[in-house]
C-alpha cells in the first residue's frame, strides 16, 4: 500500500477531456486486506446480504458530464489519496480498487471543438489502453445536455456495479456527479431486484427531460430509474429500463426542490423527509420513519446514494450546488451509522465532492467528510 500516493498522484484520468502524457500509461489494481495490525479483522456489523469474506469493490468514476462545473471528476482520486482504502481495510473489510480505464474510452467528448485540447481530427489515442477513440459530437437532445456521454458512462457504471454486487461484494461508488446514480442503482437492482433506495441529498434529482430547466442530467437520475413520463428516450432507453417503484425510495435532507419536482413527489406518493422534518422530529426519528417506509421489517437490501450537499456548507463546502440549512456533521453521519446497524446495506454512493472549489481548507474538510461517510456506512462507530 506504500505505492498508493505515488500511483494516485501520477494517474488522474478524467471524463472532462482526453487523457494525455506518459503518466497516463499506468493502470493499477489496489487491494488491501484487513489485519489485526491495522485494526479490526472483520466489520463491526454483519452485512447479511453479502457473500464470503466482507469485501468492498470501489468504483471510482471521474465524471462531471451531468452538470456544468468541472472538478467533481477529480473527487475519486482525491478520496483514495486521502487514505480511504486503508481506512476501510482497518474496519475489517477487504478492499479492491481498479484503475478507471473503462470509463475513459467513451466515444463522446464534452469539450467543445473550439477548445485547444479537443482532438484535431476527431480521433485520438488513449495512451493508457492504446485504443483509438472516436470523439463524437454530443449535441443537446431536447433540453438534455451531454445525453450521449451521460448515458454511455452510466451504462459502464451499471455494468461495473452489477459485476461487483454479483461477486457478493459491496460496491462503493465514488463520484463524480449524481447523474451516475442511473448506473449505480440499476447495477444494484440487477443483483437485488427488491432493493430499496435511500437518497440523502439537498435536491430531489427527480426532474424529467421535460421538466428540467437547466438540462443538466445530475438533476434527473431518479426520474429515469422510475421510468417517469419523458424518460423513455434515446440513448438511455437502449439500456436503462425502469427498475425502481415509487414506494421503494425515500429521501432525507431535502431543502431545494423545484416546483415540478414537488408535483412529481406528490403525484407518485414518494416519501420525502425535508430539513423541516429533521428539525421537527430529530434525525434519529427521521431515519427510523424512512426505514419503516421502505424496509419495515429490515429484510430488504438497501442502496444508499449520498450527495455530500445534503450536509450543510459549513460541513462540506466544496460541492457544486451547496444549499444552506443542511445536515450537521453528526446528523449526516448518524444516517450512515444507522443504516450500517441494520446490516442491510449492499451498495453505497458518495457523490458530488468537488476538490476544485474554494480554498484548500474547504477541500480538505469536504474530502474528509466524504471519507468519513464511507467509513460510517461500513461500520465505523464512535465507541
178 is in an annotated binding site: yes
Q: 196 and 302 in contact (C-beta within 8 Å)?
A: yes
Please state the φ and ψ torsions of residue 197, each to the nearest 5 degrees. Answer: -125, 125
Name beta bridge partners: 249: 197
277 is in an annotated binding site: no
177 is in an annotated binding site: no
Nearest to 350 by CA among 201, 188, 152, 168: 201
CA distance 321 to 373: 19
CA diameter of the chain: 59
Query: What does the block give as the cell for 251?
Result: 429521501
Name beta bridge partners: 85: none
152-192-300-175 Cα dihedral, nearest 10 degrees = -30
For 343: left if phi > 0, alpha if psi spans -120 to 50, otherwise beta; the answer is: left
* Buried-exposed string 320-338: b where 16+ CB fall within 10 A, e elsewhere: bbbbeebbebebbbbbbbb
205 is in an annotated binding site: yes
Q: 304 and 340 in contact (C-beta within 8 Å)?
A: no
First to last CA, the chain: 27
CA distance 177 to 70: 10
CA quadruple 19, 24, 27, 33: dihedral sign: negative
CA distance 284 to 287: 5
CA distance 369 to 155: 28
Query: What does the block give as the cell for 288?
Result: 427510523
Nearest to 319 by CA among 181, 176, 219, 111: 176
Annotated binding site: 178, 201, 203, 205, 307, 309
Annotated binding site for Mn(2+): 178, 201, 203, 205, 307, 309
Amino acid at each position: 500500500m506504500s505505492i498508493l500516493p505515488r500511483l494516485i498522484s501520477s494517474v488522474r484520468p478524467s471524463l472532462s477531456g482526453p487523457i494525455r502524457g506518459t503518466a497516463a500509461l499506468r493502470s493499477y489494481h489496489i487491494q488491501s486486506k484487513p489485519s489485526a495490525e491495522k485494526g479490526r479483522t472483520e466489520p463491526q456489523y454483519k452485512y447479511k446480504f453479502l457473500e464470503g469474506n466482507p469485501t468492498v469493490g470501489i468504483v471510482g468514476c471521474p465524471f462531471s458530464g451531468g452538470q456544468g462545473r468541472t472538478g467533481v471528476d477529480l473527487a475519486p482520486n482525491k478520496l483514495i489519496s486521502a487514505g480511504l482504502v486503508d481506512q476501510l481495510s482497518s474496519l475489517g473489510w477487504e478492499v479492491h480498487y481498479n484503475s478507471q480505464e473503462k470509463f475513459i474510452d467513451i466515444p463522446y467528448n464534452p469539450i467543445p471543438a473550439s477548445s485547444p485540447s479537443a482532438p484535431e481530427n476527431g480521433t485520438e489515442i488513449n495512451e493508457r489502453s492504446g485504443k483509438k477513440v472516436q470523439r463524437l459530437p454530443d449535441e443537446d437532445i431536447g433540453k438534455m445536455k451531454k445525453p450521449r456521454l451521460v448515458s454511455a458512462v452510466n451504462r459502464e457504471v451499471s455494468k461495473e456495479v452489477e459485476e461487483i454486487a454479483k461477486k457478493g461484494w459491496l460496491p462503493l461508488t465514488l463520484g463524480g456527479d449524481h447523474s451516475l446514480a442511473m448506473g449505480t442503482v440499476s447495477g444494484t437492482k440487477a443483483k437485488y431486484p427488491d432493493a430499496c433506495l435511500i437518497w440523502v441529498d439537498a435536491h430531489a434529482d427527480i426532474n424529467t427531460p421535460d421538466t428540467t430547466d437547466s438540462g443538466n442530467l445530475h438533476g434527473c437520475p431518479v426520474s429515469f430509474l422510475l421510468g417517469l413520463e419523458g424518460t423513455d428516450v434515446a440513448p438511455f432507453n437502449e439500456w436503462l429500463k425502469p427498475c425502481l417503484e415509487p414506494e421503494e425510495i425515500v429521501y432525507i435532507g431535502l431543502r431545494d426542490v423545484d416546483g415540478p419536482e414537488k408535483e412529481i413527489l406528490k403525484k407518485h406518493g414518494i416519501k420525502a423527509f425535508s430539513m423541516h422534518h429533521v428539525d421537527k422530529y430529530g434525525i434519529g426519528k427521521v431515519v427510523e420513519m424512512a426505514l419503516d417506509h421502505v424496509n419495515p421489517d429490515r429484510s430488504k437490501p438497501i442502496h444508499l446514494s449520498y450527495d455530500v450537499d445534503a450536509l450543510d456548507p459549513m460541513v462540506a463546502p466544496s460541492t457544486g450546488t451547496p444549499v444552506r440549512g443542511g445536515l450537521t456533521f453528526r446528523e449526516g453521519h448518524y444516517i450512515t451509522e444507522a443504516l450500517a446497524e441494520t446490516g442491510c446495506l449492499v451498495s453505497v454512493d458518495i457523490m458530488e465532492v468537488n476538490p476544485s472549489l474554494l480554498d484548500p481548507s474547504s477541500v480538505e474538510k469536504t474530502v474528509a467528510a466524504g471519507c468519513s461517510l464511507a467509513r460510517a456506512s461500513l461500520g465505523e462507530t464512535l465507541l
